[in-house]
Structure 1
Amino acid sequence: MNKKILCFSAAAVLLMASCKEEKTTDETASSGEVAATYEAKGMSDEYDAKIDEIVSKMTLEEKVGMLHGYSMFTNQGVEHLGIPEVHMADGPLGVREEIERMSWKPAGRTDDFATFYPAGGGLSATWNPEMAATFGKSIGEESRARGKDILLAPAFNIVRTPVGGRTFEYLTEDPFLNKSLIVPYVVSLQEQDVAACIKHFAANNQETNRGTVDVQMDERTLREIYLPAFEAAITKAKAYSVMGAYNKFRGDFLCENSYMLQDVLRDEWGFKGIVISDWAAVHSTKKALEAGTDLEMGTNKPTFDDFYFAKPLLEAVKAGTVTEAEIDKHVKRTLKLLFAVKAMGDTAGRAKGSISTDAHFKDAYNIASESVVLLKNSENLLPLKTDGLKSIAVIGANATKTHAQGGFGAGVKTKHEITPLDALKAKLPSSVAINYAAGYKTEFKPRSEGKFGDVVQEVNVPINTLDPKMIAEAVAAAKKSDVAVLFVGANRDYETEASDRMDLSLPFGQQGLIDAVKAANPKTIVVFIAGAPYDLNKTEKENSTIVWSWYNGSEGGNALADVLLGKVNPSGKLPWTMPVKLEDSPAHATKSFPGGATEEYKEGILVGYRWFDTKNVTPLYPFGYGLSYTTFEFANAKADKKEYATDDTITVTVDVKNTGKTDGKEVVQLYASKTGGSKVTRANKELKGFTKALVKAGSTESVTIKVPVKELAYYDVATKKWTVESGTYTFKLGSSSRDIKGEVSVNIK
């Protein structure tokens, strides 16, 4: 059997590893190597004496200047002491363009073009921690080339609702998959001498009323669902900074929440870095500072001197309500970060970085090419066979739409974004005629107004009326072509920060376009480009071929075209559950979302597939779902022992056979279930390991997944400890949460 596999497991996450036995031609990865690569050292204490000396020479005004914004994306440095400003940049999709120091207006520079990387949905759909490491390293190099000390990324709050405005960037609905991707990302980013700012801490799962909503949930839900990826980013990846979220949690704003910022973040997890407020997320001086916020940014005040951590803080110290020792504590944390990224101290050895390089565009391509999800291919229209193909209709605004910019929030200024139509024109034989029609307009109404607690499109409301002339053009193009490829979905003006969607309906009247094109040409391939679930019921029922892609970066069009043409065999898997209807999703089934002044997470630990699988609710497409141009069989699933102690690691192996004629990658997913009852409510199954295996046509690979017994623990609220119950556990191995192909049972002593 071959050893050319990608192996990512629970043990890999705890050690920050996957199973890397040898590199293959497509640079796939494995075990001991990754454990060493992703073992973060964290912030050094070697400069503490130097930091104490520096702080002793600072005036109170200089200290306070370091604790609040002094421009849109910096604090204030102290030049005579060699303390530089801390330079920050947004970066979920790539390093944001430079803006003016004192306003949000673009600076108009010509040297701030950057690579546009796939959004979080695309990265997570790869189910590949090596792609996350590639992402972190690549964007870290770009951050350094732009002189940044902190990249305000990654964002990885749990996808709690399908209509969440930031679903497109918030990775997944599963805490294990989130931490499996975040740790290699953060480690690889910080190896480039730039700090990750992990966000948004915490329970920041909706845009509706995000600045005021008070999130309420039980402690077990917090610990098992909403904190694991943050904890791993701190304790394993040693993230240097954390962004405090907008919302409240149990009554206190998260930037003045001592339980979250002090008790959990610092006392339990040992965090040594700095807490940066989200822009305008600070609401007090003394309370926010003493709770643990170190740097206040973006507060909506007339001048930077009016920030809560500016003149009001100076006045508080002079009045004796805040001690200078408290100020010193926060200044020292910031200096520690500056030494960690070599902005102070060993500055000569600091990484220089590079930006908008061919190598970085290749990184973006590699991520995108592993993210595309094949949802349906019942008539084998894909991959497209160009032999004998004379014409192809390319229809839909998303065939030509770029996604680097748009919506509310950070985009990327890039010179290079290949659209699907660009790519198909370059890759199809010259003998194939391309008949293009836009099909629909992406137009919006004026913003909706709503009362407190309503889900409102605060930014853009789509116009859903189709233009008869555009439909006629699309139908004509489809009729005269051998095959039609329809590019529909959404864009970043519709899926956006600061706005949750009202429902799952396709915007811009696209369902009517899909119906018309399918009627005109039975050989229609429907390609969705979007970041969040939509109502695909009618499309799934009436179309044989459906592909899902994402806001997939500078090379997104090339990656998508290569999948359609068969150069790349799709291996993406859905990172969230696509429901039949919105009311099936847990936050909506429990009538929790969007709440009002308070939002109670009534579904508890049953988020995403946990709810669907435990409540026996059938999804349209399950978590972890994705097809291939080949087929796979699983056999001989077994564990290395029958019984384990709590400190042991369980090794599960399974043979994966490629039964088709095309080489392909399969994601082997391991879900754990407690058999025979439990002291606490448990989900039907929980993801505890996965492996992405490259299997040649006709070959069989032996795949290994390691699960530390401690990964099977639940959080015991009474003892405030993680507890592993003794008894029998069943490991379910499959290609999605619903497609289980083998089981292994083990006993825990």
Structure 2
Amino acid sequence: MNNKITGFVGSVLMLTVLTVNAQSLFNPATEAKITALIKKMTLDEKVGMLHANSSFTSGGVKRLGIPEMVTSDGPHGVRIEHGRGWTPLKNVNDAGTYLPTGNALAATWNPKLGYDFGAVLGSEAKFRGKDVILGPGINIIRSPLNGRNFEYQSEDPYLISQMAVGYIKGVQAQGVSASLKHFAANNEEVDRGTVNVEMSERALREIYLPGFEAAVKIGQVNTVMGAYNKFRGQYATENKYLINDILKGEWGFKGLVMSDWGAVHNTMEALENGTDLEMGSDIGTPPLKYDQFFMGDTVIALVKSGKVPVALVDDKVRRILRVMFKTNMIAAKRTPGAYNTKAHQQTALKVAEEGIVLLKNEDNVLPLAKSKIKSIAIIGQNANRENAMGGGSSQVKAKYEITPLQGIKNLVGGGISVQYAQGYKIARNQQADDTLIQEAVNIASKTDAAIIFCGWTHGYDYSKWDDNAYDAEGVDKPDMNMPFGQNELIKAVLKANPKTIIVLMGGGPIDVREWVGESKAIIEGWYPGMEGGTALAKIIFGEVNPSGKLPMTFPKKLEDSPAHKLGEFPGVNGTVHYKDDIFVGYRYFDTYNVEPQFPFGHGLSYTSFSYQNAVKKVTGDKQVSYSIDIKNTGKKDGAQVVQVYVEPINPLVSRPRKELKAFEKVFLKAGETKTVKFILNKDAFSYYDEKKKAWVADKGQYLIAVGNSSKDIQASGEVVF
């Protein structure tokens, strides 16, 4: 991994940790071939390529050798097979690799793993005959309640950009297109199809767009998926400002913009404002009449009447063909993919190991020593619950899934007695179950160690939006309160065994105030994929030293979250105003001195690290070079994420107290020291000036703060820029 990680460049983030060069969509020789193909196509054939012709395919032109384009959901695994309809097929080979979810990937803070993660998806999608994998999802985690936070990655645009570029390059290196989603401002689920998002231009540019811009300009993503919501009064998928002016205009995106399923609402707006491919609108009674889509026969009639120029249609066809040529769908042979290989499973394990976060570890309760334990109590339904088929459209049929209970049993073998108690019952509005709690207390008090697996749950039944869905598409959480009577369970077990380890599972923050002060060891496990139970067991017993860092702030209570304290969620009368503006996540907590439960970037280790010999220098080309020595001062090998924040001193405009502008994950043997180097370009010091419609870096003093989280700064120094 290269030590050099730059800051914003023209509001784009330069990723230098990966050496794989992204192939451009625009190639003069290919453009000539595309032009020749378009000239041979009838109007009907052209329009047939602009809309779906089954649940997950869009039309091709068989006589010209243009195939259908086959898509599949899959932010963290290729979706179960639906064929051409919506009913899952039986007796097909669609059980593959179930990777950890997006927030777990982001918690690794390791862009190289982002690439490996994407490569698994691309390879498995190619094996399954898919041309486009519908991911990554990179919408900002604005509120803890968003039901789809588990698919997204972070509250911070810099971290998102670094991880998303790696993911996209990994997918597309396999000859399969990634589909970046959801463009833009899809930050809530319950009313996603109707809500109108109002935010400042500065918030749009500084918070909500940088990840998309990096994915387009640096990642060279092939396709972008529009969002369901409205943006400033116009649906995002057919939004002139977002798509024509910014995405295709300012950023020069040459690929195709596809709708989310059913996100097109108006033929003329879709045609004129940048939508290239309409997917999934449910028009008519089954079987669906695909030629009646907004971008179907109506377009043919509009062109023939002279109301729409054929050149507009040709541009959309050209964009689709660019993607097809780049991914060897036309007149070229694809290499075969691979499905659920041992190497893919190892990637799933590695991401889980590096993404799991040790939140608290008083008195060195962790790691557990197998040599000192004869019996262990495993408590909680989440310990024995599979998650692969949860979450809505991101459901994955896993070849297998190691639950936490099974992972611990596999690791300890027969030498330690493992006792299990359900502890709570997962069901909507379920209260504490005294019988289940007492069973858990009994085994916790009689065993040498106890672990409670608790937190959120995925929904299962996609067709009914499962009543148990807390982390799922189409729903938002009602609050941050721990459901199913889990607080009562945890307090009772902690009283019986004060050293009980708490493992939180799910898509993000949960209110733990009732017992966090009494607990000595807390782990954030996310939805850690098919090898998640293995990874958790290895961390709990010290075979892996935890190195995950929180990619979002965990507030103490919902009212502390800026979307709820300053802004609105989910909105009022069909509109949500982002009054929290640029103060999202830690930008708010640090600026307004609100103490979080666990800060952004936080994560503990079983070893310790020191920071020494910081050297900073401002060069003539308006760059700050920065180096610092990091030493593993403990007795275990481990990894630390060195985080670099920029803090303006006496800024001329309102700005967050500090912002993440660089990071590197450093792996160190016990006693080892490495020098980490960063370069911060002018853009790392910039903000978006709405009046000038440009990025501005004011002259003045800035603090370069380096540490283990946004709150745990280990070294700092001023520079005059």
* TM bin (shorter chain): over 0.9
What letter corresponds to residue 535 of structure 1 in structure 2?
Answer: D
Q: Secondary structure at the match of 1:147?
A: coil
Q: Which runs of 5+ in 2 are unaligned?
A: 460-469
The answer for the alignment partner of 1:58 in structure 2 is: 41
Kept in 1, the 8 Å contact 2:511–2:556? The answer is yes
Is 2:150 aligned against 1:163? no
Kept in 2, the 8 Å contact 1:40–1:236? The answer is no
Q: Secondary structure at the match of 2:453?
A: strand
The answer for the alignment partner of 1:593 in structure 2 is: 569
Q: 1:591 to 1:235 in 2, by over 3 A?
A: closer
Is 2:620 aligned against 1:622? no
Q: 2:708 aligns with which of 732, 735, 743?
A: 735
Q: 1:364 aligns with which of 348, 370, 381?
A: 348
The answer for the alignment partner of 1:96 in structure 2 is: 79
Partners of 2:514 and 2:608 in 1: CA distance: 26
Partners of 2:430 and 2:6 in 1: CA distance: 44
Matches within 5 A, 1:38-77: 38-77=21-60
Q: 1:495 aligns with which of 471, 488, 512?
A: 471
What letter corresponds to residue 682 of structure 2 in structure 1?
Answer: V
Is 2:623 aligned against 1:649? yes
- Residue 410 of structure 1: how far off its partner (Å): 2.2
Is 2:167 aligned against 1:185? yes
Partners of 1:523 and 1:683 in 2: CA distance: 39
- Residue 708 of structure 1: how far off its partner (Å): 1.6
- Residue 57 of structure 1: how far off its partner (Å): 1.5
Q: Is the deviation greater in 595-604 or in 558-567? A: 595-604
Q: 1:317 aligns with which of 281, 303, 325?
A: 303
- Residue 38 of structure 1: how far off its partner (Å): 4.4
The answer for the alignment partner of 1:570 in structure 2 is: 546
- Residue 41 of structure 1: how far off its partner (Å): 3.7
Is 2:578 aligned against 1:608? no
Q: Secondary structure at the match of 1:196?
A: strand
Partners of 1:6 and 1:487 in 2: CA distance: 37
- Residue 9 of structure 1: how far off its partner (Å): 4.8
The answer for the alignment partner of 2:659 in structure 1 is: 686
Q: Secondary structure at the match of 2:370?
A: coil
Is 2:486 aligned against 1:510? yes
Matches within 5 A, 1:331-346: 331-345=317-331
Question: 1:675-705 CA distances to partner (integer Å, 9 max, x unpaired)?
Answer: 2x22321100000001111122223222222
- Residue 8 of structure 1: how far off its partner (Å): 4.7
What letter corresponds to residue 56 of structure 1 in structure 2?
Answer: K
Partners of 1:326 and 1:11 in 2: CA distance: 34
Is 2:134 aligned against 1:152? yes
The answer for the alignment partner of 2:560 in structure 1 is: 584
Is 2:515 aligned against 1:533? no
Partners of 1:313 and 1:196 in 2: CA distance: 27
- Residue 381 of structure 1: how far off its partner (Å): 1.5
Question: 1:647-672 CA distances to partner (integer Å, 9 max, x unpaired)?
Answer: 44322111212222111111111100
What letter corresponds to residue 494 of structure 2 in structure 1?
Answer: K
Partners of 2:642 and 2:23 in 1: CA distance: 27
Partners of 1:64 and 1:616 in 2: CA distance: 55
What letter corresponds to residue 344 of structure 1 in structure 2?
Answer: I
Q: 1:470 aligns with which of 418, 431, 436?
A: 436
Q: Secondary structure at the match of 1:46?
A: helix
- Residue 45 of structure 1: how far off its partner (Å): 3.2
Q: 1:38 to 1:491 in 2, by over 3 A?
A: farther
Q: Which runs of 4+ in 1 moved over 6 A?
A: 4-7
Question: 1:133-189 CA distances to partner (integer Å, 9 max, x unpaired)?
Answer: 111111111111111111110000000001111111110000000001111111121
The answer for the alignment partner of 1:21 in structure 2 is: none
Question: 1:39-67 CA distances to partner (integer Å, 9 max, x unpaired)?
Answer: 55444332112211111121111111100
Kept in 1, the 8 Å contact 2:115–2:166? The answer is yes
Kept in 2, the 8 Å contact 1:17–1:38? The answer is no
Matches within 5 A, 1:280-359: 280-302=262-284, 303-345=289-331, 347-348=332-333, 350-359=334-343
Kept in 1, the 8 Å contact 2:262–2:279? The answer is yes
Is 2:651 aligned against 1:668? no
- Residue 6 of structure 1: how far off its partner (Å): 6.7
Partners of 2:431 and 2:67 in 1: CA distance: 54
Partners of 1:338 and 1:527 in 2: CA distance: 45
Partners of 1:412 and 1:714 in 2: CA distance: 40
The answer for the alignment partner of 2:98 in structure 1 is: 116
- Provide the TM-score with structure 2 as the length reference: 0.95
Kept in 2, the 8 Å contact 1:525–1:544? The answer is yes
Is 2:187 aligned against 1:205? yes
- Provide the TM-score with structure 1 as the length reference: 0.92
What letter corresponds to residue 226 of structure 1 in structure 2?
Answer: Y
Matches within 5 A, 1:200-239: 200-239=182-221
Q: Secondary structure at the match of 2:652?
A: coil
The answer for the alignment partner of 2:467 in structure 1 is: none
Question: 1:52-100 CA distances to partner (integer Å, 9 max, x unpaired)?
Answer: 1111121111111100010001111111110000010001120111103
Partners of 1:308 and 1:500 in 2: CA distance: 29
- Residue 742 of structure 1: how far off its partner (Å): 0.7
Aligned length: 704
What letter corresponds to residue 101 of structure 2 in structure 1?
Answer: A
The answer for the alignment partner of 1:543 in structure 2 is: 519
- Residue 614 of structure 1: how far off its partner (Å): 0.5
Q: Secondary structure at the match of 1:275?
A: strand
Partners of 1:85 and 1:261 in 2: CA distance: 24
Is 2:697 aligned against 1:720? no
Q: Secondary structure at the match of 2:474?
A: coil
Q: Is the deviation greater in 714-723 or in 480-489? A: 714-723
What letter corresponds to residue 49 of structure 1 in structure 2?
Answer: A
Question: 1:115-141 CA distances to partner (integer Å, 9 max, x unpaired)?
Answer: 001101100000111110111111111
What letter corresponds to residue 483 of structure 2 in structure 1?
Answer: P
Partners of 1:11 and 1:694 in 2: CA distance: 25
What letter corresponds to residue 97 of structure 1 in structure 2?
Answer: I
- Residue 295 of structure 1: how far off its partner (Å): 0.4
Is 2:219 aligned against 1:276? no
Q: 1:569 to 1:422 in 2, by over 3 A?
A: same
Kept in 2, the 8 Å contact 1:592–1:599? The answer is yes
Is 2:394 aligned against 1:410? yes
Q: Secondary structure at the match of 2:599?
A: coil
- Residue 208 of structure 1: how far off its partner (Å): 2.7
Is 2:240 aligned against 1:267? no
Kept in 1, the 8 Å contact 2:2–2:16? The answer is no
Q: Secondary structure at the match of 2:69?
A: coil
Partners of 1:389 and 1:214 in 2: CA distance: 56
- Residue 469 of structure 1: how far off its partner (Å): 2.1
Q: Which runs of 5+ in 1 are unaligned?
A: 19-33, 444-461
Kept in 2, the 8 Å contact 1:43–1:238? The answer is no
Q: Secondary structure at the match of 2:159?
A: helix
The answer for the alignment partner of 2:121 in structure 1 is: 139
Q: Is the deviation greater in 45-54 or in 192-201? A: 45-54
- Residue 570 of structure 1: how far off its partner (Å): 0.3
Kept in 2, the 8 Å contact 1:195–1:341? The answer is yes
Kept in 2, the 8 Å contact 1:11–1:706? The answer is no
Is 2:440 aligned against 1:441? no
What letter corresponds to residue 271 of structure 2 in structure 1?
Answer: L
Kept in 1, the 8 Å contact 2:13–2:161? The answer is no
Q: Is the deviation greater in 736-745 or in 36-45? A: 36-45
The answer for the alignment partner of 1:27 in structure 2 is: none
What letter corresponds to residue 435 of structure 1 in structure 2?
Answer: Q
Partners of 1:45 and 1:127 in 2: CA distance: 37
